[in-house]
């Protein structure tokens, strides 16, 4: 964080010590920053690339911050005109708290752009010893912002009775026009926000509108576990973009969705990712049922 942002948030945090849980959600760990390390790179620019690689794990603080953002927005909106406004006037800050709290989110998105410019000029100057580490730094700052953005969306998911952290990595998420198969042959789709994890696919509905302080939340509608899921890649001959996901759980015999992505490219990404999950499930089952035969098959592949 920049010094000005940090001081203002720090002074607000000091005033909030009696509300420790809310403070941790709203401010996260704002003291873990690497500004001083960055400033040293003005004298030793060759250390910039390695610095981002070295701080990669610590930069995931931004992911936690973004994961807390939906709850943070709610807490701030509840007290923005009372408690936080009193603090703003008391401390003489011009900006409201919500204006300050969005800055870390904006900053995590800017690192990659700045590194790209630095890389361009470093390459132009033929400083080949530095370009590889800068390329790795750019890669780090592609992954971290994506994870942060993903977690902001996951944090808005409500009503799912499972543990999100137990669902594995988030592989894909986004809007799909979906229709329950139980609705019959007439496709009357509705846009749902779909989250595809390694262990589960979750269908949710966006509720509410984006405001100054809040974003829509995603209300859980249904989910299908990956180990109880089937994929029909060609569900509608008249529309090659559609595919169907069905539950094979005998307790949920009628659970299934026909999904219609916005483009063929988007459809291919969803289908190939789901296909990969199902293949891993088959491989896992085969390894459990016939471990010796499975190992022999893997050795044959390597040869």
Q: Are strands 243-247 and 200-207 parallel, antiparallel or unpaired?
A: unpaired
Q: Residues 78-99: pLDDT tens digits? A: 888 888 888 889 888 888 888 8
Can you identify the CATH homologous superfamily of domain 4-154?
Dbl homology (DH) domain (1.20.900.10)
Q: What is the mean pLDDT of residues 56-72?
A: 84
pLDDT in tens, 223-273: 999 999 999 998 887 788 999 999 999 999 889 999 999 999 999 999 999
Per-domain boundaries in the chain: 4-154, 164-294
Per-residue tokens: 244: 């169907």
pLDDT at position 144 over 70 = yes
Q: What is the pLDDT of residue 296?
A: 64
Are 4-154 and 164-294 in the same CATH fold?
no
Mean pLDDT, all residues of the chain:
84
Neighbour-count burial of 89, counting CB atoms closer than 10 A to its CB (0-12 exposed, 13-18 middle, 19+ buried): exposed
What's the CA angle centered on 102, arms 1 and 144, to 5 degrees?
A: 65
Element (H, E) at 155: none
Helices (H), the chain: 3-15, 20-27, 35-40, 48-54, 56-59, 61-79, 83-91, 97-101, 103-124, 128-154, 264-289, 291-302
- Please write the tens of the pLDDT for every residue from 178-224: 999 876 667 788 999 999 999 999 999 999 887 766 778 999 999 99
Structure tokens at 149: 């953005």
Q: Which helix (H) or strand (E) segment is 301 a member of?
A: helix 291-302
Query: Yes or no: is domain 164-294 CATH 1.10.3720.10?
Result: no
């Amino acid at each position: 964080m920049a010094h000005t942002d940090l001081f203002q948030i720090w002074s607000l945090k000091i005033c909030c010590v009696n509300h420790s849980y809310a403070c941790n959600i709203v401010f996260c760990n704002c003291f873990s920053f690497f500004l001083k390390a960055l400033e040293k790179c003005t004298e030793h620019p060759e250390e910039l690339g390695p610095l981002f690689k070295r701080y990669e794990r610590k930069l995931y603080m931004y992911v936690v911050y973004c994961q807390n953002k939906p709850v943070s927005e709610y807490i701030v909106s509840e007290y923005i005109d009372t408690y936080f406004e009193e603090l703003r006037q008391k401390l003489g800050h011009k900006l409201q708290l919500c204006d300050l709290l969005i800055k870390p989110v904006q900053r995590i998105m800017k690192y990659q752009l700045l590194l790209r410019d630095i890389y361009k000029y470093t390459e132009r100057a033929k400083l080949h010893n530095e370009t590889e580490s800068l390329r790795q730094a750019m890669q780090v700052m592609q992954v971290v912002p994506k994870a942060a953005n993903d977690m902001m969306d996951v944090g808005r998911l409500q009503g799912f009775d499972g543990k999100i952290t137990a669902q594995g990595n988030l592989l894909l998420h986004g809007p799909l026009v979906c229709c329950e198969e139980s609705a019959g042959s007439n496709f009357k789709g509705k846009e749902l926000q779909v989250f595809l994890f390694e262990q589960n696919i979750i269908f949710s509905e966006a509720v509410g509108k984006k405001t100054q302080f809040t974003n829509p939340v995603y209300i859980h509608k249904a989910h299908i576990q990956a180990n109880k899921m089937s994929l029909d890649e060609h569900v509608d001959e008249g529309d090659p973009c559609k595919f169907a996901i069905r539950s094979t759980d005998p307790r949920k015999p009628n659970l299934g969705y026909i999904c219609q992505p916005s483009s063929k490219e988007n459809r291919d990404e969803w289908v190939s990712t789901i296909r990969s999950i199902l293949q891993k499930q088959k491989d896992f089952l085969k390894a459990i049922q016939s471990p010796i035969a499975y190992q022999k098959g893997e050795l044959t592949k390597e040869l």
